[in-house]
Structure 1
Amino acid sequence: MSVTLAALTCLLSVSAQASSTVVCYAKDKAIDVELHGSAGRSVGSAIGAFGGEAEFKMPWMPPAARRVTFEAEHLTQTWYDDREIRLAVSWIKDGKEPSPEVTLIIKTRRVRGDDSPYRGQYQLVAHLPDEAGTKREVQGKIECSAD
């Protein structure tokens, strides 16, 4: 009986550490973004329950893409391990009207112990729907946490 109870306790404690909540945020003169999701703690785990919102403040960003809601389908690449979180999120407005294609690339690294945040850079790449197919880029600092 005590062996079964000990084994059950061990299994419950392992499952409690099986996932973490990942949150990334940046706020500067170009963007205001918060992304969130849950991730497994084992190697190769994907980020699920992904979502977020962004405001892109650059004057060249078309009005249709100034405020964007990200959903799971927008998360195109992920890398999450003990030391790094990397994400790529791509968005284009549904419909027949021309829309910019917006890609947000996040690269962060945990520089201290397990309780420290992940710090790094974001790169926003926008392909504008003008005749020239203009490409614009903005970079800045971003921070993520994983609890």
Structure 2
Amino acid sequence: MPAVTPPLSPSPLVAAGRPLTLAVLWGLFMLTSLPLLAGLVQGQATGVERQVLYACATAFLLGMVWRGSIWAWRLTVSFGMVAGFLVFILGMLSGTWVISGVGLGYLVLATALVGTASIRAFLDSRWAARSGRRL
């Protein structure tokens, strides 16, 4: 009787990257939808449609990153870096440390998508699985 090989288990780095990736993506979504939530709590209804559109587009883009789209990952990192830099500068110019903190949050989370080994291992495994399905 031939020996049955067990299915390959994911590496510990990939397993550790799953919750970290989810936390980073949720953090980016929360930073993006924070102005909408703050406006609703304060009773301001101006621009709600635009903010809901931003939240939906962000949810779609981050969902595509989670599913393994390389282009969505590239756009997310690019938008996160540019938005973080601009929001940080805006906060510095306006003298509001909370806005600068949000800009730093964007920069840190976008950098985590690129620079954290376990997140990259998890995303690499998603990319490999996605490209394998196309063949």
TM-score between the two structures when normalised by the length of structure 2: 0.30
Higher relative contact order (CA 8 A, sep 6+): 2
- If each structure's strand is expressed as a fraction of its own residues, which one has the higher value? 1
- If each structure's helix is expressed as a fraction of its own residues, which one has the higher value? 2
TM-score between the two structures when normalised by the length of structure 1: 0.29
